Structure 1
Amino acid sequence: MNDHPDTDREQTFLEHLVELRGRLLKACLAVAVVLVCLLPFSRQLYHVLATPLMATLPEGSNMIAIDVASPFLAPFKLTLLLALVIAIPVVIYQLWAFVAPALFKHEKRLAKPLLLSSVFLFYAGCAFAYFVVFPLVFGFMARIAPEGVSVMTDISRYLDFVIALFLAFGIAFEVPIATIILVATGLVTTRQLGKARPYVVVGAFAIGMLLTPPDVISQTLLAIPMWILYEVGIIMSRILLPEKSGEESPDQATN
């Protein structure tokens, strides 16, 4: 079986640069097209993003803009980031098209599902943050506000806050992919990952403390999914890479 990269000839360094430029231009064009389509709805998009907070604010409270350009810049920044997130499949495809010719066939068979799964898991992490974490976190913060204090959040600071949470949960949901890659590269076995479970649980809560606001709810809501996804990664590694599980086979056990 031919287990070599699918290249007819070795490209020169200049040819690689030209191809990389073309791939980057196509990825940027995809982001630009999505951005142009979303710009007319930038205000509505920000309203949707602010809904979890507005639902928990006391009656009569509103968000504020303390900078002159914030009413324009905050929705535009959100729209730009959303365009990048929506165009991620195209960006990853262009990256894959550039790298794939240099990969072995067995590497391609593993890389394709991992890339697709990583995109899905990132979207799932962002959705979990918006629909589950935001209502709980903002409700908790609104309830603990001292009496007599009016809760009115600046739109730019709110955007920065939720973007940090989106990234934290989106990246945290990539734990199964990282686990499978570690096993595939031979750095660890699933048996070793299973033995490291207590340390992973402690590390998940430590990461939750660092990546989320200083409240127990968001830290726990990040740590528990990370632990569950870690277990999913171990299970999937055993299914996809049984030869690297590190478990003794029945023949080895009898010898």
Structure 2
Amino acid sequence: MAQATGDPNEMSFLDHLEELRWHLIRSTIAIILIGIVAFLMKDFIFDTVIFGPKKMDFPTYRFFCHIATSLGFDSAFCADKLPFTIQSRTMGGQFSAHIMTSIWAGFIIGFPYVLYEIWKFISPGLKENERNNSRGFILIASLLFFMGVLFGYYVVAPLSINFLGTYQVSKEVLNEFDIGSYISGVRTSVIACGILFELPIIIFFLTKVGLVTPEILKKYRKIALVIVLILSAVITPPDVTSQIIVAVPVIILYQASIYISKFVMRREAKKSKKDVKPI
């Protein structure tokens, strides 16, 4: 197809779509390949990782049990086991759970490569100084994502499982969870926290394009706090303690985002002064 302009280096809209398609294909292939490895590591993925928060020797439970006993309190975190079982209620339930868990494991582990492909797609449209200033984007974004994943796995997921696994409206009702429901709870906690921890990166780019300023972030800080509490309520069990534990790091990230926005604005202002030539 002919180019829209006379510049032979300028790509048409369809060329951009084709380029994007190949970036998505490579990202998908990477996720599938890592997912195949995860599929073959079934015992570790399920017995150690997925069902780890179900066992009372999980580090989070031991930590809270130690704190409780040190203060002289009894705690549900010191129990021998959680009073619920996990079942598969459909013929292909376990196989489907195995497939989907492997794919999500491929996405989580392959997240830096997915970011790399996204960066390769958008970086040609940036100016040279913008590309230089954005060095380290993949590393920082990946670190924030994995920090969120670890926070979700070691804090949010076990708190949710412990609360919901021990909650009963009556002793006549037994907690027997479907495997899909259990894995969905763990996955939601992990992925949601991983995305929430990307807040500073999102604010950085929104400030770069002029959609966000430090003043806007400060002005709507109270509204943001309410939104954070709502998000915390969605990804945690309905108790105040768990919601606060999740909300605190997100609020810290929001405050850090304000400083990041200030830094970007100051740097852009200095750059504008340098670009202004005296008449």
TM-score (norm: length of structure 1): 0.81
Deviations 1:172-206 (A, max 9, x none): 11221222223222233223423433332222112
Counterpart of 2:54 in structure 1: which amino acid?
L
Counterpart of 2:88 in structure 1: which amino acid?
A
Deviations 1:110-165 (A, max 9, x none): 44434432222121111101111222222223443243543222111111222222
Alignment root-mean-square deviation, CA? 2.7
**Contact 2:82/2:165 (<8 A) preserved:** no
Structure 1 residues 198 and 108: CA distance shift in structure 2, 3 A: same
Tell me what 1:78 maps to. Answer: 101
**Contact 1:61/1:152 (<8 A) preserved:** yes
In the aligned structure 2, how far is the partner of 1:44 from the partner of 1:188? 43
**Contact 2:84/2:175 (<8 A) preserved:** yes
Structure 1 residues 140 and 17: CA distance shift in structure 2, 3 A: closer
Mean CA deviation greater in 27-36 or 222-231: 27-36
Structure 1 residues 16 and 239: CA distance shift in structure 2, 3 A: closer
> Displacement of 1:99 after TM fit?
2.0
In the aligned structure 1, how far is the partner of 2:81 from the partner of 2:149? 26
Deviations 1:65-119 (A, max 9, x none): 1111112111221111101221122222122222211211233234443443222
Counterpart of 1:216 in structure 2: which amino acid?
V
Of the three residues 179, 183, 188, the one matched with 2:207 is 183
**Contact 1:45/1:75 (<8 A) preserved:** no
Tell me what 1:22 maps to. Answer: 22
In the aligned structure 1, how far is the partner of 2:55 from the partner of 2:178? 12
Tell me what 2:41 maps to. Answer: 41
Tell me what 2:162 maps to. Answer: 139
Identity of aligned pairs, percent? 29
Counterpart of 2:256 in structure 1: which amino acid?
V
In the aligned structure 2, how far is the partner of 1:238 from the partner of 1:135? 36
Deviations 1:201-231 (A, max 9, x none): 2221123234444333443233222111001
Deviations 1:4-52 (A, max 9, x none): xxx9711244443443333233222212221222221124312221221
- Gap regions ≥5 residues in structure 1: 1-6, 246-255
In the aligned structure 1, how far is the partner of 2:218 from the partner of 2:268? 13
**Contact 1:180/1:234 (<8 A) preserved:** no
> Displacement of 1:60 after TM fit?
7.4
TM-score (norm: length of structure 2): 0.74
Structure 1 residues 144 and 57: CA distance shift in structure 2, 3 A: farther
Tell me what 2:59 maps to. Answer: none
Tell me what 2:254 maps to. Answer: 230
**Contact 1:57/1:142 (<8 A) preserved:** no
Tell me what 1:157 maps to. Answer: 181
Tell me what 2:139 maps to. Answer: 116
Tell me what 1:9 maps to. Answer: 9
In the aligned structure 1, how far is the partner of 2:82 from the partner of 2:104? 30
1:68 aligns with 2:69: no
**Contact 1:176/1:233 (<8 A) preserved:** yes
Partner SS, residue 153 of structure 1:
strand
Counterpart of 2:51 in structure 1: which amino acid?
A
Q: How many residues align?
A: 239
Partner SS, residue 63 of structure 1:
strand
Partner SS, residue 86 of structure 2:
coil
